[in-house]
Structure 1
Amino acid sequence: MASNKKNINQLGRRKFITALGNTVGASGLITTPIVTMANNLFRQNQTFTVRQIIALFLKEVPGAPFNTTVDTLESGSLDTKVTGIVTTMFATLEVIRKAIDLGANFIIAHEPTFYNHQDDTAWLEQDDVYRYKADLLKKHNIAVWRNHDYIHSHKPDGVQTGLVAALGWQKYYNPEIRNRFVIPAISLKTIISLTKEKLGIQMVRYIGDLSQNCERILLLPGASGGKRHIEEIIKEKPDVIMVGEAQEWETVEYVRDARAKGNKLSLVLLGHAVSEEPGAEWLVAWLKPKVPGLKITHVPSRNPLSFI
């Protein structure tokens, strides 16, 4: 099936970027009356290919297309005429089945489809789970594009914008210090409760005193990595750092030692998927006016872990 995916991505990573670059470059021609009239007619016909929709997004990202990126087509063809779009964090089997039910053949996912950062499938060639998923996508002619590097490089960062809006923290947002929020003092327990309610989180893991008052919050969704977590803690000196996920032997141990030393520092692990899901929802609002006539649906992949 690795060769199958190579056929699906027949342009290859470099050719894929080049093809998109040509498309984005050609979009600069939309300054003449003739091309503008043709573009208006095109929009009235409401026909869009995967390539054209990707190009619309890249057009607003500084420096795009990037020479090196994980944001490639994981299945399908750039020339597929899009019947509907699904945005999500992970293109799980449940999300794919929902897209089929919706009649959508283009999934825009934020994270990998095939279980590793680069979406490399050579090592999965004989695996029945990978094969089932790849075959399902192929059978229904579904294109999956990962939008990770580009949505984070968009101005503003689409994931952060969606998350801040979901939390209702717009008035505390400072673009100069994007991940630090200074709010009226409330207890750690209240912050956790409000965050769970706003983001639809069942449970979180935390380190800290639930009665501690917190004003300075460091918010780093997804998986920024322990080094960045700790560097930001050192720089911003927050009362609490809220992250998507963390290596237990990195950030978690640093916070444990900081508290043992006497620092009033707490840690909240929100979960990777739920911490960045609002970015996929933000993309729906971004896309709708740009691709009129196409049904765009956000299908959350949710946190797959259960708690007992």
Structure 2
Amino acid sequence: MKKPISSSRNSRRKFIQSTLTLAGGIAFTSFTPIKNYPFSGPGGMTVQQVIDLILKEGNLSPIPGTVDTLKSGSGDMVVTGIVTTMFATIIVIEEAAKLGANFIIAHEPTFYNHTDNPEWVKNNSVVKQKQALLAKYKITVWRFHDYIHSIKPDLVAYGTTKKLGWLQYFKTGKYDVTVPAMSLQALITHLKTSLGIKHLRYIGDLNQRVAHIALLPGAPGGQRQVTFAETEKPDVIVAGELSEWETAEYMRDQKLLGGKMALVLIGHNFSEDPGMWYLVEWLQPKLPGMKITHIASGEAFEWM
């Protein structure tokens, strides 16, 4: 996770001009600060102005090399409605169009790689069809990843903790909570019920008691996960996803060596979607009159 850097207003303006670009290299429109909220003109707010509002209200400074760029559409497009989601899937795009919303704020990539480079795989037919669908509905997609994690508190961590009903244990800047002790089985049941998960994976004894819980959403990487395990010694790590040959094997061996730490994998989508769900609540008061809807993209897998 990157931290924002300090910047003057002028450097911030220049930075946003240079970094908010479409996938494929099409330049973002020139930066114009908003003078009046929620609307700056008779036509309503543009995509650019909504992004500016989010950066301002989040007290955010430019992040060099951010992946939070436009993936389709135009910064000067007037917004008719906003949809927040984890992944701008084909279904999410279709649902946004039905709602009359032309601005999708997605947490994760739209074109299957971290930078949304459409040439990541040459002549990708799925990318081309998805681009055509976005153009058909005149929908702009903006990725909101680096910046949402930079807001204090991190809106993803806050949203996940809120959906789990643990806000009273939440501390800004911390990725662990201490809750009343329960069995690992009870924790798994609570995770499934609170987050709407049908299936998850775990390593550990279902009867062991857990109270100190590490919440590591998304895919922070094996080194960070194992470092957290070694330094913080939680009873259980609740993670989004991992490389099975890294963290999973570490957790298996520590268990075989007599360790009591457990691991629960809830999936990348389910671990961070509550942040995009909470974004509606965070953003709506700042955009009165704007229709903002969360559409859960759900998981990609089916289970047998």
Task: Give the structure-1-normalised TM-score.
Answer: 0.87
- 1:117 is matched with 114
Answer whether contact 1:111 1:148 (CA < 8 A) is retained: yes
> Counterparts of 1:226-245 in structure 2 under 5 Å?
226-245=222-241
Write the distance in 2 (CA, Å) between the matches of 1:99 and 1:70. Answer: 23
- 1:154 is matched with 151
Moved runs in structure 1, 4+ residues, more than 3 A? 5-9, 40-46, 60-63
CA displacement at 1:40 relative to structure 2: 5.9
> Counterparts of 1:187-202 in structure 2 under 5 Å?
187-202=183-198
Letter in 1 for 2:68: D
Answer whether contact 1:89 1:273 (CA < 8 A) is retained: yes
> Counterparts of 1:54-203 in structure 2 under 5 Å?
54-175=51-172, 178-203=174-199
- 1:34 is matched with none
- 1:265 is matched with 261
Letter in 2 for 1:156: P
CA displacement at 1:67 relative to structure 2: 2.2
Match status 1:207 vs 2:223: no
Q: Percent identity?
A: 51
Letter in 2 for 1:155: K
> Counterparts of 1:273-284 in structure 2 under 5 Å?
273-284=269-280
- 2:7 is matched with none
SS of the aligned residue for 1:79 comes to: coil
Q: Which of 207, 210, 214 is residue 218 of structure 1 equivalent to?
A: 214
Answer whether contact 1:43 1:292 (CA < 8 A) is retained: no
Distance 1:9 1:293, change over 3 A: farther
- 1:36 is matched with none
Q: Which of 283, 288, 303 is residue 284 of structure 2 equivalent to?
A: 288
CA displacement at 1:64 relative to structure 2: 2.1
SS of the aligned residue for 1:288 comes to: helix
C-alpha deviations, 1:57-80, integer Å up to 9, x for none? 111345522221000000000000
Q: Which of 4, 8, 26 is residue 10 of structure 1 equivalent to?
A: 26
CA displacement at 1:123 relative to structure 2: 3.3
Write the distance in 2 (CA, Å) between the matches of 1:114 and 1:185. Answer: 42
Letter in 1 for 2:26: Q
Letter in 2 for 1:291: L
CA displacement at 1:43 relative to structure 2: 6.3
C-alpha deviations, 1:249-272, integer Å up to 9, x for none? 011001011111111011100000
Distance 1:58 1:40, change over 3 A: closer
Higher helix content, 1 or 2: 1
> Cα RMSD over matched residues?
2.0
Write the distance in 1 (CA, Å) between the matches of 2:24 and 2:222. Answer: 35
Task: Give the structure-2-normalised TM-score.
Answer: 0.88
- 1:51 is matched with 48
Range moving further from structure 2, 262-271 or 286-295: 286-295
SS of the aligned residue for 2:113 comes to: coil
Answer whether contact 1:222 1:273 (CA < 8 A) is retained: yes
- 1:302 is matched with 298
Letter in 2 for 1:202: K
SS of the aligned residue for 2:162 comes to: helix
| Number of residue pairs aligned between Structure 1 and Structure 2 | 284
Write the distance in 2 (CA, Å) between the matches of 1:110 and 1:40. Answer: 24
Letter in 2 for 1:10: I
SS of the aligned residue for 1:231 comes to: helix
SS of the aligned residue for 2:141 comes to: strand
C-alpha deviations, 1:22-80, integer Å up to 9, x for none? 44xx35xx5xxxxxxxx269469571100000001111345522221000000000000
